Structure 1
Amino acid sequence: MPLTLRPFQPDDEPVVGALHRGVDWPVRSADGWRWLLANPARPGDFPVGWLAEDAEGGAAFVGQFPQTFHANGERLLGVTGYSIIVPPALRGAAPILIRRVLDRPDAALHYTLNANALSAPLYRRHGFHPWPAETHGLKLSWIIDPLVCATASLVRRVAPDRSGRAGPERLMNARVCRPQDLRLPPDIAPMMDFGADWNDFWVRLRESGAVLADRGAEAMRWRTADPDRLTPPVMLAYRRDGVITGWLLAQTAKMSRHEPPVLDIIDLIATPGEPDAIQALVGTLIDNGRRLGVAKIRLQVVSPSLLAALGPVGARARREGGWGHAHARFGAERDAQLRRGWTPTPFDGDYSFCLRPVPRP
């Protein structure tokens, strides 16, 4: 059956919302779609998603998210797809939607950092390769509450995913919705705004020569203002001699109604030559896990350099994943530069705005 492709419009929110509810994914509000449209990295002619429609009114959807990448003084456009939803009646629409997202000649790289086990093979057919090459299938997690995690594992076996689409939220606790009350060491403090000290940190990151997603003040203020996030993010800065040399952004999520709250690390980065920031930031997050009411902490995108920087803290983590969730396709003229310089964190992908939020009490 022929399909018609067209850009997502705000009036399509009910259709796209129904698609998300059908697979028990978080449904973005009208304010949330306006927030995505306000992305400072979005070119004026860049839709936030595409709909494939058949003659009988059926629809499939893919989102597309642009980011500005900085590379040795240059600005590059990167594009990741997100939330590919294809109902059974529109089987075969996924490759069509992916090709439409790839049809952006001004993009230096296309990628996904959040493919599931079923969709991962699709990307290889479209010229993507696993990235980072050594760790594309690796996710890390630190267990905070073993009993709750064991209960969730039992529920998954007894009542698999289909039971998670209706009914009450299970395995909740009051701590996860309370204001943050963190116990922090002297060299780590909450990041309250993105002012002059943040700008200095961002300049030093860019001077490293790495290929980095934009973390300028405007981009960070926008990214941390998602109206569909129901709990505030954890934002921590590591300082050496009063100067920011490391940064961590994390937010709570709940994968389904029958899963406990977890804390996802969205961004984790330090300036070159800083030996302690990564381990200190993650260690502090682990130490505060129970105060935050989460059953485990996750890091869903790991590069070899980040794994090395985690050191003994990383050695304590459980290894998860395994199906190759991260894939990239580089433009021919940028291939060598991106292979050499791009080591993504979850910040580069769709995790910050596609995680299922912890519900309000």
Structure 2
Amino acid sequence: MAVRPFELADIEGVNALHTQINWPAPSAEQWQWLASNPARGTSPMGWVIDNHGRIDGFLGNFRQTYYRDSAVLSAATGHSIIVSPRVKGALRELIQPFLSQKDLFAVSILNANEIGSPIYRHYGLKPFSAPVHDIKLAWLLAPHRIVVAKILRSLAARLPSLYPMLGERFLPRPVPAFDARSVAWPAGVHAIADMSDNSAFARFWQQLIVDGELVAERCPALLRWRLAMPDLTSRPVLLGYYDEQGLCAYAMGQLSKVGPIEVVTLEIIDLIALKRAPATAIPTLIRALKLAARKLQAAKLRLPLVSARTQAALGSTIGLAHNEGGWGHAFAHFSAPEAGFADWQPTPFEGSYSFTLRQPYQ
């Protein structure tokens, strides 16, 4: 058994691991897209456990560029972490090269599941402080569908033979048409269609850097790359909030469906505002995202990662949301703890949420 960098020739073996635990297996085109990550450089896309030619484990390595004032930094988030029962206990060897990357200020796992969560802290990762580590917010838009889905999952858990009979449930038919430009959004909100290098979004990104906080790169070129994910079956929703000076806050929503007996959800992949943005900006974007979710026939709107800054910006809207977290899902390991990154306020955009989500319309 050996741990080595992932190669594109390993796709079949890694996808087999995904299939064995009912995770969506990326297409070959999606793997090629991940390989073209502008922030990747020459770093590995991840590592595999190679057991005499059989792939028995995988940890994905997604690099990102960060800015703080004039400093340009790099970090990575881990994703799609799978270890076969055949090599039980081998996660330590798989995670070590991920933690040992020398040119990064930090590595993180921002989407840990309930099984993996208790394990990561034993391998050198420390949990983010609350609320990042503990809260996933969900606004319920179709409670009746959510209740029925919960009942069906409970029945199927007791009678596994029901799963093939139930099939794919709660999927709207036909696939809903949605033109963000034709929706009557709340005052101040407009759909973002222009992602060119001279757009309002480009100016918004430059102002995010000027604001001086530690911020993951969101330049138009990177957003164009993100939005070109081959496995997407519906285009993400991009909404902006504008003040008298222009775009001052934006949100990105992407449809997902965790499993066959789960409801369709609009996941908030990004939600960020400039320092000058009014207190109404983020709550108004949440209202707009709820409207978008209803138009797309999603049963809930979910924010899967909530920083203290975002929590404060949500204001009273947070009282209408249900917490779907609680097991601990956000961890980081800093290569230079003394460098002052304690104020890092991560968003879902910095995790693996967007490119690992199960798509509703396969």
TM-score in terms of structure 1 length: 0.93
Match of 2:348 in 1: 346
The alpha-carbon deviation at position 176 of structure 1 amounts to 4.9
* Alpha-carbon separation, structure 1, partners of 2:108 and 2:301: 24
Task: Using the aligned pairs only, state the percent identity.
Answer: 37
Equivalent of 1:49 in 46, 50, 55: 46
* Alpha-carbon separation, structure 2, partners of 1:164 and 1:78: 43
Contact 1:95 1:122 in 2 (8 A): no
Match of 1:80 in 2: 77
| Structure 1 residues 6 and 293: alpha-carbon distance in aligned structure 2, compared to 1, 3 A threshold | same
Q: Which amino acid is the alignment partner of residue 97 of structure 1?
A: L
Q: Which amino acid is the alignment partner of residue 359 of structure 1?
A: Y
Instruction: Render the CA deviation track for 1:210-261: whole Å, top value 9, x for unaligned.
Output: 1111001121111111011111101011111260001000100000011111
The alpha-carbon deviation at position 206 of structure 1 amounts to 1.1
Structure 2 unmatched ranges of 5 or more = none
Instruction: Render the CA deviation track for 1:72-121: whole Å, top value 9, x for unaligned.
Output: 21111101111111111111121111112112111110111101111112
Contact 1:176 1:293 in 2 (8 A): no
1:227 aligns with 2:204: no
For residue 339 of structure 1, give the secondary structure of its aligned residue in structure 2. Answer: coil
Match of 1:260 in 2: 263
The alpha-carbon deviation at position 307 of structure 1 amounts to 0.7
Match of 1:178 in 2: 177
| Structure 1 residues 171 and 219: alpha-carbon distance in aligned structure 2, compared to 1, 3 A threshold | same
The alpha-carbon deviation at position 335 of structure 1 amounts to 4.0
For residue 285 of structure 2, give the secondary structure of its aligned residue in structure 1. Answer: helix
Q: Which amino acid is the alignment partner of residue 183 of structure 1?
A: A
Q: Which amino acid is the alignment partner of residue 69 of structure 1?
A: Y
* Alpha-carbon separation, structure 2, partners of 1:331 and 1:175: 49
| Structure 1 residues 336 and 33: alpha-carbon distance in aligned structure 2, compared to 1, 3 A threshold | same
For residue 232 of structure 2, give the secondary structure of its aligned residue in structure 1. Answer: coil
Match of 2:8 in 1: 10
Match of 2:115 in 1: 118
Alignment of 1:76-225 (within 5 A): 76-160=73-157, 168-174=167-173, 176-180=175-179, 182-195=183-196, 196=198, 197-225=200-228
Match of 1:66 in 2: 63
For residue 302 of structure 1, give the secondary structure of its aligned residue in structure 2. Answer: coil
For residue 289 of structure 2, give the secondary structure of its aligned residue in structure 1. Answer: helix
Equivalent of 2:314 in 301, 310, 317: 310
* Alpha-carbon separation, structure 1, partners of 2:318 and 2:276: 19
TM-score in terms of structure 2 length: 0.93
Equivalent of 1:280 in 281, 284, 287: 284
Q: Which amino acid is the alignment partner of residue 9 of structure 2?
A: D
The alpha-carbon deviation at position 133 of structure 1 amounts to 3.9
Match of 1:248 in 2: 251
The alpha-carbon deviation at position 55 of structure 1 amounts to 3.2
Equivalent of 2:303 in 299, 305, 313: 299
User: Alpha carbon RMSD of aligned pairs, Å?
Assistant: 1.8
Contact 1:68 1:78 in 2 (8 A): yes
Instruction: Render the CA deviation track for 1:286-337: whole Å, top value 9, x for unaligned.
Output: 13322111010100100111111101111111112101100111122x5452
Match of 1:322 in 2: 326
The alpha-carbon deviation at position 54 of structure 1 amounts to 1.7
For residue 39 of structure 1, give the secondary structure of its aligned residue in structure 2. Answer: coil
For residue 99 of structure 1, give the secondary structure of its aligned residue in structure 2. Answer: helix
The more displaced of 56-65 and 277-286 is 56-65
1:33 aligns with 2:34: no
Structure 1 unmatched ranges of 5 or more = none
